[in-house]
A and B are shown apart, each in its own frame.
Chain A
Amino acid sequence: MGMGSDMYRQQILDHYKSPRNYGELEDPTFTHVGENPMCGDEIQMDVKLEDDEETIKHVAFSGDGCAISQASASMLSGKLAGKTIDELLEMDRDDIVDMLGVEISPMRIKCAVLAEKVAQDGAKIYRGELDKSKTSTED
């Protein structure tokens, strides 16, 4: 390998090449889409809640885009299972950077947080706290 990139460590490349939880859920409790116009990344997040309507049971994502956005969605989908909606809504960009385990350059941070924003907006819409059809990292 050449000099490689700090941003493209094995974990990121692995999730990008073999994304986890990729696809759509059959009967999601809620689903939401979003885009990062800068990169042209598009992501749909499907979330299935437990019967308590609070705890996240499954998350699936679909869409395409750059490695950072796709790997971030893949990792997040795994991380969210078992968390509550409140815990999802409490997450911020630092949690995503920690999860990715690499330094994300300022120009690429929007790619990294897209999946998180989409999941959070989806949850807020589900709770009736937000009304929008599509999330954009430019909002």
Chain B
Amino acid sequence: MSQRNVGTLDIERIRSDFPILEREFDDQQVVYLDNAATTQTPDPVIDAMSDYYRYTNSNVHRGIHHLSQEASEAYERAHDRVAEFIGASGGREEVIFTKNTTESENLVAYSWGLNELGPGDEVVLTEMEHHASLVTWQQIAHETGAEVKYIQIDEDGRLDMDHARECITDDTAILSAVHVSNTLGTVNPVAKLTEIAHKHGALSFIDGAQAVPNRPVDVEEIDADFYAFSGHKMAGPTGIGVLYGKKQLLEEMEPYLYGGGMIRKVTFEDSTWADLPWKFEPGTPPIAEAVGLEAAIDYLEEIGMERVQAHEEELAEYAYEQLKAEGDVEIYGPEPGPDRSGLVGFNLESVHAHDLASIMNDHTVAVRAGDHCTQPLHDKLGVAASARASFYVYNTREEIDKLIDAIDDARQLFA
């Protein structure tokens, strides 16, 4: 799906939508390269949310009054917009708003996993899972007696697909795989993995936290049974995430959290559940955040997801080459190409990743350093921590040059 030369972005204009990029520390403008952790929020998203609070704020699904009606409509419409964005033809019934990707994982693990898994069942993960899925399925497996298996990665940081075929068997109940690795930048063949899972009668859960923000995603093309992502990594607000699920599966699943708003009828003795997706959205939901998420989708689609992807890949390739040219930088994950996304994890030979990040911070270059919530993967890579630069629509080559300057400074300091 990678398309080159789909037109460069008008970076000046895009940057002007993100006031935070003007911030300075010690007279140096911030260079924000920590987008895989969270992206910045453009004015149109902030405006949509503040307008919501200024003119529409009300609770949803319970007021007869005008404001509640408007708020309810806005909140419901955001579900439709998300469905359209990710190609969910079932519309809002297949789109559940959660707090974040992590909660989306937990929703399925508790609602489906706790009820369906047992001894003899297998949950197949990849070695590059984020703790959001790794820890969740590991613990649910402990509780149910199911077994967890991990699809290995090869030397380049790609999934070993032969091993995937070995791991996924008729005993596999669910495959949970990350679409784009937040540590290696690998873009996994999730449609293929899903096909293998389905052949064995297993379900497929895809963690799209690092994919939906920066490439066109069509959940039906992947044929994923579940697909999860977070608003705050795609120019949207914190506090909202998405769980896509195939309607039939969601209908069969029991609620994960109970309370108001998710019920049809309640007596002292028992309760019945509301329709999808509300069955899975108890209590007062993230209404302003849903409005913000819709605005973020509008913003990204106006740029065009192919162009977002092309821009990120171009920056990643540039960063990869610059880092490689340094000679003493170890870079993780595949070489630039269609199966590599716009983030680059690395280590400078002589400097611990946290020292490196501290020195970068002195240059006002914001990168992530640590285990990126993939501790087992770091164990496998043989390092305790790595540094990671990740890019978004507003980043430039000049900013990557500043990253390289900071690396040079760190090397000198530690020489």
Q: Knowing A3-B363, A13-B414, A66-B352 touch, does A40 contact B358 (C-beta < 8 A)? A: no
Contact A40 B385, beta carbon cutoff 8 Å? yes
Residue of A4, A39, A68, A105 touching B413 (CB-CB under 8 A): A4
A8 in contact with B355 (CB, 8 Å): yes
Q: Mark A56-89, 1 if CB is under 8 A from B, else 0.
A: 0000000001111000000000000000000000
**Contact A4–B362 (Cβ < 8 Å):** yes
0/1 per residue, B115-131, Cβ < 8 Å to A?
Answer: 00000000000000000
A111 contacts chain B at the CB level, 8 A cutoff = yes
Would B385 and A108 count as touching, CB distance under 8 A? Answer: no
B99 within 8 A of A: no
Query: Which candidate, B205-213, B297-305, B404-412, is the interface stretch facing chain A?
Result: B404-412
Q: In the complex, what distance in Å separates the CA atom of A67 from the CA atom of B408?
A: 17
Q: Which of A1-52 contact B (CB under 8 A)?
A: 1-8, 13, 16-17, 38-41
Q: Are B409 and A4 in contact (CB under 8 A)?
A: yes
Per the bound structure, the CA–CA distance linking A38 and B378 in Å amounts to 13
Please, which residues of chain B bring their CB within 8 A of the CB of A105?
A: 358, 361
* A38 partner residues in chain B, CB cutoff 8 A: 354, 370
Given A66-B355, A68-B355, CB of A40 within 8 Å of CB of B413 = no
- Complex interface: chain A residues within 8 A of B363 (CB): 2-3
Which residues of B, 287-334, contact A by the 8 Å Cβ criterion?
A: none
B359 contacts partner chain A, Cβ-Cβ < 8 Å? yes
**Once the chains bind, are A8 and B354 in contact (CB under 8 Å)?**
no
- In this complex, what residue of A is CB-closest to B409? A2
Pair B414/A40 contact, Cβ less than 8 Å: no
Kindly name the residue among A4, A39, A41, A105 whose own CB sees the greatest number of chain B CB atoms within 10 A.
Answer: A39
Contact B385–A39 (Cβ < 8 Å): yes
Residue B11 at the chain A interface, CB threshold 8 Å: no
Interface size on B, residues (CB 8 A): 23
- A67 contacts B362, C-beta separation under 8 Å: no
- Please name all residues of chain A whose beta carbon is closer than 8 Å to the beta carbon of B361 when the two chains form the complex: 105
Known: A39-B352, A67-B352, A111-B354. A5 touches B384 (CB 8 A): no
Q: Are A8 and B359 in contact (CB under 8 A)?
A: yes
Chain B residues positioned under 8 Å from A13 (CB to CB):
413-414
Judge whether A40 and B355 touch: CB under 8 Å.
no
Question: Is A2 a contact partner of B405 (Cβ separation < 8 A)?
Answer: yes
Minimum CB–CB distance from B156 to chain A (whole Å) comes to 23
For the complex, give the distance between the alpha carbons of A41 and B352 in Å.
10
CB atoms of B409 and A1 under 8 A apart: yes
The complex places the Cα of A3 from the Cα of B362 at a distance, in Å, of 8
A67 to B414, CA, bound (A): 9
B195 at the interface (CB under 8 A from A): no
Taking a contact as CB atoms under 8 Å apart, the answer to whether A65 and B409 are in contact is no
Report how far A54 CA is from B344 CA in the complex, Å. 51
Beta-carbon contact of B352 and A65 below 8 Å:
yes
**Is B371 an interface position by the 8 A CB rule?**
yes
Point out the residues of chain A lying under 8 angstroms from B408, CB to CB.
2
Q: Is the CB of A5 within 8 A of B370?
A: no
Across the interface, do A65 and B413 meet the contact criterion of CB distance under 8 Å?
no
User: Smallest CB-CB separation from B26: which chain A residue?
Assistant: A3
Distance in Å: Cβ of B373 to nearest Cβ of chain A: 12
B-side contacts of A2, CB under 8 Å:
363, 405-406, 408-409, 412-413
Check B413–A5 contact: CB distance below 8 A. yes
Note all chain A residues with C-beta closer than 8 A to B378: 40
In the bound complex, residues from chain A placing their C-beta under 8 Å from that of B351 are: 67
Say whether A8 contacts B352, CB under 8 Å. no
CB distance from A17 to the nearest CB of B (A): 8
- Is B359 within 8 A of A5, CB to CB? yes
Distance in angstroms from B245 CB to nearest chain A CB is: 34
Q: In the complex, what distance in Å separates the CA atom of A65 from the CA atom of B363?
A: 22
**B229 CB to closest chain A CB, in angstroms?**
26
- Cross-chain contact A67 with B355 (CB below 8 angstroms): yes
Check B354–A39 contact: CB distance below 8 A: yes
Inter-chain CA distance A6–B26, complex, in Å, is: 13
Cβ contact within 8 Å between A1 and B412: yes
Question: B358-377: contact bitstring with A at CB < 8 Å (1 yes, 0 no)?
Answer: 11011100000011000000
- The smallest beta-carbon distance between B407 and chain A, in angstroms, is 10
Report the Cα distance A5→B355, complex, angstroms. 10
* 6 nearest A-B pairs in the assembled complex, by CB-CB distance: A40-B384, A2-B409, A66-B352, A66-B354, A5-B362, A67-B355
Which residues of A line the B interface, CB within 8 A? 1-8, 13, 16-17, 38-41, 65-68, 105, 108, 111
26 examples of A-B residue contacts, CB within 8 angstroms: A1-B413, A2-B408, A2-B412, A2-B413, A3-B409, A4-B413, A5-B358, A5-B413, A6-B362, A7-B358, A8-B359, A16-B414, A38-B370, A39-B370, A39-B384, A39-B385, A40-B384, A40-B385, A66-B352, A66-B354, A67-B355, A68-B354, A105-B358, A105-B361, A108-B358, A111-B354
Besides A13-B414, A39-B385, 12 more A-B contacts (Cβ < 8 Å) are: A2-B413, A4-B362, A4-B409, A5-B362, A5-B413, A6-B362, A8-B413, A13-B413, A39-B370, A39-B384, A66-B353, A108-B354
**Chain B residues proximal to chain A, CB less than 8 Å:** 351-355, 358-359, 361-363, 370-371, 378, 383-385, 405-406, 408-409, 412-414
